[in-house]
Chain A
C-alpha cells in the first residue's frame, strides 16, 4: 500500500492507504474526521467539499493518494478551538442550516468562494454554490449567510 504524507488541518500526517481509497474515506474513516459528509455517488451534492491547497474540491472525487504532499482543510479545521469563524457564525445568525448534513461542504465552498471573490453579489453567490445541494433551507438563508460572512471576513 502506498504511504502518503500530508497536512490536515495543520497537522502533519503519514499513513498507508490503498490506491482506491477516496480522499473522503481517508478523512472520515482513517482520520475519524466525520464532519465531511457523503451525500451522493455522482459528484453532485458537494457535502464532501474540503480545501485542497486552499481550493474547494469534492473529496469523493479524488483519491487519497492524490493528496500526497498536499494541505487539506476540513470543516473541523475552521474552528479548532470551538469558536465559530465569521462564516460559520453567519450561517448560525441567518439560520443557513437545518439538518446540518450539507452544511460542512456548503461552508467549505463558501469560504473558498469568498477567498476568490471577497465581495460577491447575490447572483455570484447563488451561481458559486451550484456544486452544493441543500434540501432543507431553500437556499435563501444560506445565500444571506454567505453574503454576510463575506462582509465579516472583509472587515
Chain B
C-alpha cells in the first residue's frame, strides 16, 4: 500500500531545493564559453525602418554578432505561426494572419518589438553595443485602442487588412436571441472594459541556447510553460527538423500564460548560437518584460441581458472588441473570440445567447493567454450585467442570481454556446458560500466599517469555466534497480507542484511509497509529446495520463504477480498495492522487484518489462465551477478599497491534493483582485508609448492588500469526462475574483448612485465615481462600434 492517497495534502518535494536556494532557474545555468545577448527594441509604436547600421556596435569591445532583418531574410527563416483554435470569420473566410517574424523586417508595430539581437562576451558589453545599433525610423501614426482601431480613418497596421480587423467571429443563435430581446419585459445594456493586464511572473523570461555543429543539434533551456509546442514553432522558423532541437524548461519562476507562447528571443538566440558556435544566454529585464511579454484581457464589450418581469433570464447578447496587439500571436485571436464565447452566461440558465467577438490589430505588445484566457472575461461580463440589471431594475442581486442558476436536475446540459455542462450543483454551492459569509457576521462587519466612516459592500459571484490547452499528455514510467521510479510527464509546472501531485497520483495508483518517485517534466528529450501548462490542464490531462500509465502498468504486472503467486494471470486482482489470487497476495513492491530480476519473471518477459509510457487524450473539456463572495469597505474620502472577507466554494471534481488546490485558488484570487483594483497596462493614446513600463507604475498586489480567503470544495459531483474525475483548478480563482471584488465595491457605492466603474477600481476612479454621483454613459466605450 502506498503511504499517500488521492486527497492527501502531501507536502511538496520541490520545496527542499526552492527553500534552500538550490532551485535551478534558467538564469542559474551557465555554460562554458557562454556569451550574452541583448535585444534592440523599437522605441516607436509604429514606424518604417529605413536602415539599420550595425557597424559601430560591431566595432565595440567584446561584440561578437549583431543579428538583423538582413540575416533573417538571407537565411529564409519563416514567420512564427499562430495556433489559434479559432481561425474562421463568421462568414466562413479565414482570419488575417500577417507574417510575424522574430525580427521586424520593414516596419515596427509596437514599442519593444525586436529589431536586432546583439551578442557580446559580457552582458554589459552587449548592453552598451545595443545602444550603438543605429536604426533609422520613419515614424507613422499609431493606434492603441481596439475600438478606435476599427473606426474609419484609423491608422492601418497592415496593408491589405482593412480596419485592422483580424477576425470577426460569432457563436450562438442570433435570430433567437434577437427575438428574445424583442419580446422581453426588461432589457439592460452596458459597455464593459476588461482592462489590459500582464502576468508579471517574478522570474522574467530568459533562455540559454546552444548548438553543436558536429551533430547539427540545438539545445534550448528556456523559461517556457510549453516546451513541445514552442519547440515545434522554433524548428519551423529555423527550417530544421524538430528532432534537432532539445527544448528543456528548468525550474520556471511563474508563468500564468505569459511563458506559453513561442517568443522571438529564444529563436534569435538559437540562431546566434549556431552562428557563433558558442552558447548564448538572454535574460529579459523587468522593464523590457512590460514591453515584450504577452498581455491579457484587453476587451471592450457591450453586454445585454433580457429578462422577464419577474427576473427570469431570457437571453444574453455580447459584442466584444479585443485588442490583440500588432500580430496574431500564438493564440491571440482565440481569446476575444472562442475563448470568451464558450462560458458566456456562466452557471445560469439562458434559453438563448449570441456572442460576437472581433480581434483587432493595435500598436501594442501582443495579446496571448493570461490565467483564464477568455473565461475571466466571460464571467466578468455575465456577472457585471446581472449585477447591473439587479441594481437598475430593482432586483435583489442575491435573489436574482438564485432564481436563474441551473438546477442539478437540468444537467447534463449543453448551453447555447455549445458548452457541455455535465455535473455540478450550482444552487448548493451558492447557498454554501452564503453560509460561509454569514458565519463571518456580515452585519457586524458592516457596523464596524460604517462606524469608522467607511461604506460596506458585499457581492456574490458564481462562476463556471472550462479547461483548455493541449488535449494530449504523455506519462512515462521507468523502474530502476535502486528502487526509484522515474516519472516523466510533458506537463510544465511553473509553481503548481506537479512534481508532488503527479507523483502522488502514480504512487497512489500503483500502491507504492511516493518517496520512491523521481519526477522529470518539460523536457522534449524525456517525453515525445506534451501539452505543457495552460487551461488548467495539469491534473485533468497530465494527471489522467499518469493514472492511465499506472493502470496499464498494473495490467503489465499481473503476469509477474501471477508467477509469484503461482497462479494464473486472469485470476490476479489488484487493489491497494496488493495483487491477490485466491488466499495469497503479493505487494506491488515485490512485483516491481521481481520485474527487474530475470529469474523471477515468467518466460518471455524481460527485466524492465513494467517500464511503460502512456498517452492520454482528453475527450471533452471539463467544467470547473464555483462561487466567490467578497465583503469590502470603501473609504469615501479617498476611494481606497479594503477587504473584510473573502469566501470561495469550488467544484473542481475530485481534489488530488487540497493544499495545492488551495494554493491555486489563493494565487488566482490575488491576481483577480490585482486586476480589479490596481493592475493596468496603459499606453499613451497619441504616441503608443507604454506608460506602465515598470513596477513603479504597474501596481502588483502586496501582502497587505490581499485578504485571507476561506475556501471550501464540493466533491459530490465528480466529472465522468476523465478517469480521475477532476475538473481543473489552476485558473478558477482568477475567474471568480474580478466580479466578486468589483460588484462588492459597487454595492458599497450604491448610496451614491454609482452603478458602474471600469477596472481597475483605483482610489482615484472610485473617488471620481462618487463625485459624479452615478452619472455614467452605459454606452460610452463602444458607441457605434457595437
Contacts and interface: CB of A to CB of B under 8 A. Distances in A.
B669 interface: yes
A135 B286 contact: no
Interface string B682-706: 0000000000001110001111101
Contacts of B201: 99, 101, 135
B251 interface: yes
Interface string A110-143: 0000000000000101110110111111111111
Contact of A107 (B19, B203, B706): B19
Query: Chain B binding site: helix, strand, loop or mixed by DSSP?
Result: loop
Interface stretch (A51-59, A63-71, A78-86): A78-86
Contact of B20 (A40, A84, A123, A127): A84
A138 B663 CA distance: 8
A89 B660 CA distance: 17
B776 interface: no
B496 interface: yes
Interface in A92-109: 92-93, 95, 97-104, 107
Interface string A6-48: 0000000000000010000000100001111111111011010
The number of chain A residues touching the other chain, given as a range, is 35 or more
A102 B670 CA distance: 16
Given A34-B25, A37-B253, A101-B253, 12 more contacts: A39-B203, A39-B286, A41-B287, A92-B16, A98-B663, A129-B702, A135-B200, A135-B254, A135-B667, A137-B670, A139-B666, A143-B703
Contacts, number: 177
Contacts of B20: 35, 75-76, 78-79, 82, 84, 88
Contact of B15 (A36, A47, A92, A101): A92
B202 A134 contact: yes
B768 interface: no
A10 B496 CA distance: 34
Nearest to A47: B202
The 7 A-B residue pairs with the shortest CB-CB distance, nearest first, are A35-B21, A101-B253, A100-B18, A99-B495, A138-B670, A98-B495, A138-B666
Given A98-B667, A99-B494, A88 B704 contact: no
Nearest to B29: A34
Nearest to B14: A100
Interface string B276-296: 000000000111000000000
Contacts of B251: 99-100
Contact of A101 (B202, B286, B666, B709): B202
Interface residues of B, number: 57
Given A101-B25, A136-B663, A39 B19 contact: no
Interface string B714-752: 000000000000000000010000000000000000000
Contacts of B675: none
B90 interface: no
B200 A74 contact: no
B254 A88 contact: no
B27 interface: yes
A39 to B, nearest CB: 4
B44 interface: no
Contacts of A132: 703
Interface string B15-55: 11111111111011000000000000000000000000000
B23 A35 contact: yes
Contact of B666 (A35, A42, A79, A140): A140
A34 B203 CA distance: 13
Contacts of B25: 34, 37, 101
B660 A91 contact: no
A136 B254 contact: yes
Given A41-B286, A135-B202, A97 B253 contact: no
A140 B695 contact: no
8 contacts: A33-B21, A37-B253, A76-B20, A95-B662, A100-B18, A129-B703, A138-B666, A138-B709
A92 B696 contact: no
Contacts of B703: 125-127, 129-130, 132, 134, 139, 142-143
B202 A99 contact: yes
Nearest to B255: A99
B666 A39 contact: no
